[in-house]
A = this chain, B = another copy of it.
Amino acid sequence: MDFPSKLLENAVNEMAQLPGIGKRTALRLVLHLLRQPIEQTTGLTTALDLLRNEIKYCRSCYAISDTNLCEICEKPSRDHSIICVVEDVRDVMALENTQLYKGIYHVLGGKISPIDGVGPSQLNILPLIDKVKNGGVTEIIFALSSTMEGDTTNFYIYKQIKDYEIITSTIARGIAVGDELQYADEVTLGRSLIHRVPFESSLKV
C-alpha cells in the first residue's frame, strides 16, 4: 500500500500489529478515528497508556487488578481453601458470571506449549505449588481449555501436588447446554457418558 501520508502510514502499521487486524482493516479504523471528534482518539490512547502503565497483577492469584490484592482474593466471604486454576483473566470473568463458584482463583497466564516456547517457568505455576505446600488448600480445580496444551499443563501441576492431601478435580467435559447430541464429537460424548451425573443432582442448576 502506498500511503499519501507518513503519519497515516505509521498509525496503520501500528494498528495492524494487533492480532486479527490486517492493513485494510487498520486503515478503515484509523480513517474512522480521523472522522470522529478528537476526544475519541485521545480517549482511546489515554485509556491504553494508563492501562499499560498502571495495571497491577494480584499478588495472590495473578489476575489483572487495580490493587495489589484483587477484589476476589480480598473478600473474606470467598473460600480460600478452594483454588480454581485458569489460563487468563477472561476465564475468571466467565466463571464469575456463573455466580456458582465461591472459592478463589489462580491465573497461570497461559498454558505449557513447547511449540510456542512456553514452558512451566514462564507461567505462574511455582506460586501455586507453594500455596499447596504451605497448607490450607483443600481442593484444586483445573479449569483450563480442553486442548493438548491444557491437558499437559493440568498433568504437570497434578504430578507436583498429588502427594499432598488435597482433592484435585477438573471441570466436567460434556455436551454443552443447548447442543444437539448428533453433532457432538465421540470423545466429548464418551466422556459425558462415563462421567454421567445422578439425575437428581442435574436438576439443581
A79 interfacial by beta-carbon distance below 8 Å: no
| Residues of chain B lying within 8 A (CB to CB) of residue A28 | 19-20, 90
B17 and A40 contact, CB distance less than 8 A: yes
Partner of A2, one of B18, B38, B41, B96: B96
A43 interfacial by beta-carbon distance below 8 Å: yes
- What is the interface size of chain A, counting residues whose CB is below 8 A from a CB of the partner? 58
User: Which of chain B's residues has its CB closest to A109's CB?
Assistant: B35
B4 and A89 contact, CB distance less than 8 A: yes
B70 and A48 contact, CB distance less than 8 A: no
A72 interfacial by beta-carbon distance below 8 Å: yes
A97 interfacial by beta-carbon distance below 8 Å: yes
Kindly list 20 other residue pairs between chains A and B, CB separation below 8 angstroms, not including A15-B48, A41-B49, A41-B51: A2-B93, A4-B70, A5-B55, A6-B66, A7-B51, A8-B89, A10-B50, A11-B50, A13-B47, A14-B43, A17-B40, A17-B43, A20-B29, A31-B88, A33-B52, A38-B52, A38-B53, A41-B48, A41-B52, A44-B48
